[in-house]
Structure 1
Amino acid sequence: MTDPALSLDRVSLTLDGNAGPVEILHSVSLEVDRGQTLGLVGPSGSGKSSLLMLMGGLEAATSGTITALGQDLTAMDEDGLARFRRDNMGVVFQSFHLIPTMTALENVATPLELAGHRDAFERAEAELEAVGLAHRAGHYPGQMSGGEQQRVALARAAAPRPAILLADEPTGNLDETTGGTIIDLLFGLRDRHGATLVMVTHALELARRCDRVVRLRDGRIETPEARAAE
């Protein structure tokens, strides 16, 4: 039996709010198999995005253990987490987080350059071509539509060929048609690179395309028994 891509053991998250501590996640345990696609769904405020951030080491758990590709993320410092993400993870946000002063090609090449790849720009060109934006390589984010910017963000996430892809509402700022194109590209990148994909979404039809769906409510994974009791 192979190790899971991601494993969370009794993970909790408490953040400081204006009125005191706020419990975001409560003793969440979850495993994601290598190569699996997992959809995280649930109402707003249920903890979906926070759970994704914990998986990516972008937020520190208050308690519990998070293991990714056999490495304990909760035991790493910030530098160790940054190196692990650089070498193993691609993250796609609802807001594209492109660098406005860089062209599309430079945005995609940046993580490859940071990882020391000598063929960074060649690989970046290939990824832009894969998302249909080879003709936009020399354009800046401000010169592109929202859908084009999200495609650049997808190419940037996929360029290092990560073992794990994390996507937080990747179609949230896009119209239905453009969003559908982005999702097709996201699953295509997953298939091309064999990555494990974890995606937060409000769209149930999108979640159904995943191998598995996990529903969160009030910071806990909702069981079938709990749903049946409603």
Structure 2
Amino acid sequence: MTEPVVSLREARLTLMGNAGPVEILKGITLDVAQGETLGLVGPSGSGKSSLLMLMGGLERATGGSVRALGRDLTALDEDALARFRRGNMGVVFQSFHLIPTMTALENVAVPLELMGAKDAFERAAAELAAVGLEKRAGHYPAQLSGGEQQRVALARAAVTRPAILLADEPTGNLDGRNGRAIMDLLFGLRDRHGATLILVTHAPELAARCDRVVHLADGRIEDEAAGQRAAE
């Protein structure tokens, strides 16, 4: 039996708030298969984004275990986690997180430069072309529309050919037309690079395109369903 790409066992996350510890995730057990597209849905505050951050090693579980590509993320220190993410994961955020003083091309090239790739800018240019922004390569984020900035963020996440692509509300800041375009690009990246795609969304049409949808409520998995059925 093939090992899951991501595997959580009784994973918990407790953070300190003003009034004391707050239990965000309350024992999540979940496997994600190679090449699967998984949607995480649920009301605000249900723990969707926190779960995505655990899977990406951007938050450290305070209980249980989190494994990705056979590595125990809970056993890695911050430097080892950063190296692991750099080589294996691409992350897309709702708020883009582009570097404002860098052009679109430079933003996309950053992860490749961190990996020491000699052809960083050539590969970045090719990835920008793949999302339809080859003519905007020299523009800064402030000169780009929201949809264009999210395309740059997608190109940056995909340029290293990650095994796992994580997306947190990737269409949340976009209008309907741009949101649909980003959806198509996300699934196109999955198909083109063979990545496992895990995304948080409130958009029923995006959840419907996933192979499987996990509903969270109050820090727990409430339900699982096939994407199309879950969105109906």
TM-score, normalised to structure 2, is: 0.96
How much has 1:118 moved relative to structure 2?
A: 0.8
Look up the match of 1:89. 89
Q: Secondary structure at the match of 2:180?
A: helix
Post-superposition, which runs of at least 4 consecutive aligned residues in structure 1 deviate over 4 A?
none
Q: Which moved more, 1:86-95 or 1:199-208?
A: 199-208
Look up the match of 1:102. 102
- In structure 2, C-alpha distance between the alignment counterparts of 1:220 and 1:5, rounded to whole Å: 21
What amino acid sits opposite 2:168 in the alignment? D
Q: Secondary structure at the match of 2:123?
A: helix
Q: Secondary structure at the match of 1:170?
A: coil
What amino acid sits opposite 1:212 in the alignment? R
How much has 1:116 moved relative to structure 2?
A: 1.1
How much has 1:169 moved relative to structure 2?
A: 0.0
Look up the match of 1:129. 129
Q: Secondary structure at the match of 2:113?
A: helix
TM-score, normalised to structure 1, is: 0.96
Unaligned runs of 5+ in 2: 225-232
Look up the match of 1:228. none
Look up the match of 2:143. 143
Look up the match of 1:14. 14
How much has 1:204 moved relative to structure 2?
A: 1.6
Say if 2:23 is the partner of 1:23.
Answer: yes
- In structure 2, C-alpha distance between the alignment counterparts of 1:119 and 1:205, rounded to whole Å: 37
- In structure 2, C-alpha distance between the alignment counterparts of 1:169 and 1:58, rounded to whole Å: 16
Alpha-carbon RMSD: 0.7
What amino acid sits opposite 1:185 in the alignment? L
- 1:35-59 superposed Cα distances (whole Å, 9 cap, x missing partner): 0000000000000000000001001
What amino acid sits opposite 1:127 in the alignment? E
Q: Secondary structure at the match of 2:95?
A: coil
What amino acid sits opposite 2:70 in the alignment? G
> How many residues align structurally?
224
Say if 2:190 is the partner of 1:193.
Answer: no
Q: Percent identity?
A: 77
Q: Secondary structure at the match of 1:187?
A: helix
Say if 2:33 is the partner of 1:33.
Answer: yes
Q: What pairs up with 1:1-230 in 2 under 5 angstroms?
A: 1-223=1-223
- In structure 2, C-alpha distance between the alignment counterparts of 1:223 and 1:170, rounded to whole Å: 22
How much has 1:223 moved relative to structure 2?
A: 3.4
- In structure 1, C-alpha distance between the alignment counterparts of 2:123 and 2:183, rounded to whole Å: 22
What amino acid sits opposite 2:214 in the alignment? V
How much has 1:104 moved relative to structure 2?
A: 0.3
- In structure 2, C-alpha distance between the alignment counterparts of 1:200 and 1:120, rounded to whole Å: 29
Q: Secondary structure at the match of 2:198?
A: strand
- In structure 2, C-alpha distance between the alignment counterparts of 1:217 and 1:197, rounded to whole Å: 21
- In structure 2, C-alpha distance between the alignment counterparts of 1:163 and 1:102, rounded to whole Å: 26
What amino acid sits opposite 1:104 in the alignment? A
